[in-house]
Structure 1
Amino acid sequence: MKDNADTHAIDLLMVGPLIPEIIAYLEGKYRLHKWWTIEDKETFLREHGATVRGIVTSGRFGATKTLIDSLPALEVINSFGVGYDPIDIDAAHARNVVVTNTPGVLDDCVADTALALILGVSRRIAEADRFVRAGRWPNESFGLGRKIGGKRCGIVGLGNIGRQIAARAEAFGMDIAYYNRRARTDVPAHYRYCEDVVSLARESDYLVLALPGGSATRHIVNAEVLKALGQDGYLINVARGSVVDEAALVQALQAGEIAGAGLDVFEHEPKTPEALWSMDNVVLLPHIASGTHETRKAMADLVLKNLDGWFATREVVTQVV
């Protein structure tokens, strides 16, 4: 791609550390400022804020209204990840700032992780690993797990990732039901649509969360939903931590109101509730659903394509609506 301007004169602000390949590329092509390394941020904004034209961030680091408003020359925010709820979209739109993310390229790996969590909690994979490593196998028998074939998989959010999860779950012999803002007409007719999350939870053995974060979905899974899921039901979350009332989840697990959980995301990550650490019926992952070499490279390529495209032609590939 040929640039219409000298990109080395363009100031970018990276909010938090991203993968080394992105950092190296941006340092070689733009004038990159690393927000997390700047001790005196007020002085930086006073001296350089007026020249920053782009923000590079992720679904973890986001971009606040305060930061957006402090950069008068800001044109574009490029996010590494599909989730963009930590970015103040209203503030960006008010300033006519373009926001991009990286949808599509991580669907397969996130769906794979959802299935890994379903299998992990059902067949007690992590627990069995700990059992062997502790040297208990020669003297004890390990308990039984649960078969997932024939069970009901309820998916909250049947978007691109949700449909990939459904396809994988169905391949394992699971029945599919879902909740969406509206019923889909482009999915198999035997996928059952539920009008609300409580109804879906009541019909599910596994309630899998694959919906966006943000204020509209905050705590959509609450105590009522968990109670509807019931003592034989499992909660699987590969969406955003904010969509689950974490305190209610801990309480439901402690009281035995649900059978277990597989969690890749948390409400206050990287902090996780200590009460979950000792629970054998819970599998905890450090937000790694998209964490493969192949997917992270594809995400990085899309971030850079959006960024270079904007400064070359004022066009991006994946603009957030």
Structure 2
Amino acid sequence: MGARPESGSRTPVELPRMPAVGALHRRALLGALPGLGKGRRGPDLPAVELTVGGVSVDRGQVADYDRVCGFRLSDRLPATFPHVMGFPLALRLMTAPDFPLPLIGLVHVGNRITTHRPITADETLDFTTYAENLRPHDRGRQVDVVLVGSVDGEEVWRGVSTYLGRERKPGGREAGERPAAPTATASWRVEPRIGTEYARVSGDHNPIHTSRLGARLFGFRRPIAHGMWSKARCLAALEARLPDVYTVEVAFKLPVPLPSTVSFALLPDGGFALHDSRGRPHLTGSVR
């Protein structure tokens, strides 16, 4: 099933500009309607890589992003911001008719970012995206969507987002003791506005983050925070400790309902975690 295309077998497709996110979300919603879009999806990953060149940084967007996620204002981009810049390109890939998993209902279960050097707000980036490693999961199938940012032909940033397409209902969970939550370093109140504000600065307007009705349609009692907001908020708390070159990887666990109070903790092994008031993990991460 879905063998990983080798890089040489993917067809490069250069787009003249970043796609319009709104149109892509409408396409995804239309394809999710009963009777539409069925039978078009292939069993394998699309053998293409999409590219957009010459993407400049919107300083106003960066400032808004810094405020929403808790970063200090700086000419250096937060490590998570290129994900936002290239998100429309990745969304174009995932809303293509031959992408094997429908966008609506996809669960973001993990993200790994590598910064090869600091990126400043006056730089212009080229972005490339492709999908790889379609594989089975207990609840369906998973896929990695790779997004690469380059400057003058040199890769400076790479992000890998892992998504789960749920195709089977989860079975019963085995009973067992939950490990004790780590001692909190900080406690944050996450207000409902975080869903709409992060959607505005990131372009990710998935209704599970911004609408009570949209959240209920997918089994949530109320909207949930974007996983990438949670990751960015944790990195903002670590900002003074981060080196110039590093990889930060997170696994998204339980969603963060809006509103809620979450606890951030530094782990003895150098990692970090985000937990709810009952000690259940929302996110676990590591920096190396």
TM-score normalised to structure 2 length: 0.25
With normalisation by structure 1, the TM-score equals 0.23
**Greater share of helix:** 1
Which has the greater radius of gyration? 1
